[in-house]
Structures are given as structure tokens and as C-alpha cells.
Amino acid sequence: MKTMQAHEWMINYTRQTEWIDRRGIFLWIAFYTGGLGGGLYLVSLFFNSLWGMFLSWLIIAVIKGGAHFIYLGRPLRFWRMVTRPGSSWLSRGIIFVLSFVVLAGAQMAFTYWMPGTAGEIIFKVLAGIAALAVSVYTGFILNTVKGVPFWNSSLLPLLFVSYGVMSGFGLAIVIALSGGDVNLATSETWSRWLLIFNTLLVVIYLLAAANREATGKQSVMEQMRGHLAPVFWAGIVALGIVVPAVLAVFSYIVGEIATALLVTGVACEIIGGLSLRYCILKAGAYKPLVARTS
């Protein structure tokens, strides 16, 4: 009897490329801007900031929606996915985005022309739910890919939402510095606490992934010692955690720091969030079908 030849992908860890390489880079952008825009909208509801709401709407409608459209490539395929919400989390995500664009648009109209009315309250609730869905669904997309152990974690949805809200408070700082309708001190305080919380989440997520099985450990090692190490250590750790933490401590001690330093801290948080999504997508690898004999 002829034995079946074991191909490379059957015995080795095979990195996924569909969602990060070539046109997949637009999906990375869409995943990040969904969390950023959704988080900013939730923060804007907290402050009742119309400027923040409008900025979050632009981020989701233009940047995230545009990136999704470019990634899918075919307009007919795009609309076909909208009509099949039960087919995948990606289809549901597109519905969440469209729902947010409509509901948040209506809410901003009520807030601007008819503030304090029942219509404004109703649309704030509905748009807030849609914003949360936009922020969280990317974590569920990755979590349902059972062939990639590094993504099989219930922490991913929470991690993505929490990073989005932290970046939302960061953008709220910029809005406040620009004279917008946001409280600067409150934004700084929440940003500091969420930085600590997110750092712990990242550590727990990586430890859990490394201990789950061999493929998950391989994905973690690729980030810490492999080809993703520069992005992990420079983007996530140095710029995304250390620099904002140092600036936060300095601000807490002296009471007030230069506007340029605050904006730098916000920019570093955004770079950290982008780097986190990039590493998670890039390090995802399919586990081999055939166990190695040596």
C-alpha cells in the first residue's frame, strides 16, 4: 500500500497569511479602527461629547468601512455578506458597522438639534450597543478559528474592547486639549488605569496561550524572540506601555505637563494598539495535522 506523502503544512506550524499579508493588511486596519472608533464613541457617551461622537463616526464609517470594502474587493460579495448574518462573525461585523453608522448618525442629529428629547436617549442607547458590538466582534472572529490555537482565548474580545476604550480616552485627551467638550483630568485618570489593566491582560493572554499547546507557545515565541520581536518589544512594550506609563507617572507627580508630551503619550498608545493587533494576526499559526516523529 502506498503511504500518503506528508506535505510541509501537515507537519509544520503554518502561519496564517489571509488576514495580515498583502490585501489582508486592510483587515488589520479595519480590526483596529473598529476598536478605536467604538471605544471613542463609548467614551464620548460618558462625556456627552458631540465632537468625540462625530470623530468616532468618521473613524468607523470612513476608515474601518473603507478598509473592509478594500479587503473584500468585490461590491457584490460585500452586499451578499450583509444578507447572511448567520454565515460568519465577519458578516455580523459588517452589519454592526452599518447599524452603528445609521444609529450614531441619527443620535448626533438628535443631540445637535433636539437635545434632551426621548429620541436622543433612545438613539444613544442603540448606538452605544452598536459601538460595543463593533469593538468586540473582532475578538469573536479570531476566537472562532479553531485551527489557530493562539486565537482560541475568551480574553480576546475583552482585550480588544479594553484597548479600544483606552485609546478612546486617549483621543478624548486630544479633544480636551483642542478646546472640545471633554474633561481633561478625567480622561487622563481613566487612561492611566486602563493602561495598567491592559498590560495585565496582555501578560495573562500570552501566558495562557503559551501554556495551551505547542502551537500557541510557538506563536508567543515568534513575538518575543522571532521575526515579530521588533514589533512586539518596540511597538507594544516600549511605545505602547513604557512611554505612556512614564508620562502618566510624571504627569501625576508634577500635576501638569506640556501639551506636546500628552499628545505623544496618546500617539504611543495608538501605536501600541496597532502593534498589538498586528502581532496577534501575524503570529497566528495553524497547528500541524500530523504529529512529528522526530
pLDDT digits (tens, 9 = 90+) for 197-218: 999 999 999 999 998 778 889 9
Tell me what pLDDT residue 7 has.
Answer: 45
Q: Taking the model in full, what pTM does it have? A: 0.91
Nearest to 125 by CA among 159, 89, 100, 151: 100
What gap in Å lies between CA 101 and CA 69, rounded to an integer? 15
Contact yes or no for 217/210 (Cβ under 8 A): yes
Tell me what pLDDT residue 253 has.
Answer: 85
With a cut of 90, say whether residue 110 has pLDDT above it: yes
Domains and CATH numbers, the chain: 8-286 (1.20.1630.10)
Cα of first residue to Cα of last residue in the chain, in angstroms, is 23
Which range is least confidently modeled, 120-129, 143-152, 230-239?
A: 143-152
Nearest to 269 by CA among 284, 288, 248, 290: 248
Calculate the average pLDDT of the chain: 88
With a cut of 60, say whether residue 11 has pLDDT above it: no
Tell me what pLDDT residue 3 has.
Answer: 45
Tell me the pLDDT tens digit for each residue of 59-98.
999 999 889 888 877 656 666 666 666 666 677 888 899 9
Nearest to 6 by CA among 285, 214, 286, 290: 290
Contact yes or no for 202/159 (Cβ under 8 A): yes
**Any residues with CB less than 8 A from the CB of 234 and at least 6 apart, and which?**
275
Kind and range of the H or E run holding 139: helix 118-143
Tell me what pLDDT residue 290 has.
Answer: 53
115 pLDDT tier (thresholds 50, 70, 90): very high
How many C-beta neighbours within 10 Å does residue 210 have?
17
Nearest to 176 by CA among 62, 275, 38, 46: 46
With a cut of 70, say whether residue 239 has pLDDT above it: yes
What gap in Å lies between CA 169 and CA 196, rounded to an integer? 14
Mean pLDDT of 183-206: 95
